[in-house]
Structure 1
């Protein structure tokens, strides 16, 4: 069963429960408050009426900043440091990286092999079950074989 089919079944189970909950909540239009579109807003209106407090809004004006050339230089240097991420001086420019890869076919071949072992979103690929599981875990999907409806039913029981 595909992940989208499992998600559809989960959505259907959730929809059934939402219908049950909506029936139990009742019709918000019957509320005697002015906030009828939201139960939360109606409760907040009731709370405010019970507390009878006054809320004062702070409307502070925004400010504009002007940076000196030394401040801009500092910001650019910090950006460079962030981009380099601690790369050594031998690899801190694209020219140095290109020179290193261009002169060492083994390093380039290893890099191309590593890239070839990646899951592509642009191409159809045949993956083993273990590769599918690893790919799903890498992108945060988890185990694609998990029965989500069973998990939901167990959680609500």
Structure 2
């Protein structure tokens, strides 16, 4: 398997994970709250409504179980969100622990990936046949310490024995 293929598969795997994360978050516009910009804003709205309603309306805070007439406390929700974040990140370093940071590293368009794949495609392969120009062959052989691939060894031999 070529490095280009592996990098392409890595990029596709990351894209699939991002797509899965976006799907798991759901459609924020479908929230039954007025705050639809973020899940945190929606949760805060629900908490404010529960606090405003008090227990007289039947809304209670119950961290032990979920039910239609209760909600988790803000500390329980914060804990659950932190656990979910840890599960999603799977130990990623701080430099890559948000989708924004991953996007910034990959680029917001395909140009960076295309440039990377082009650069990878311009490398010598030991496993695959390649069509290289004479200049590319010379550079590759020089890099490997082989010398000029166009050297006519028969001519050198013939000249040496004269």
TM-score exceeds 0.5: no
Q: TM-score, normalised by structure 2?
A: 0.30
TM-score normalised by length of structure 1: 0.31
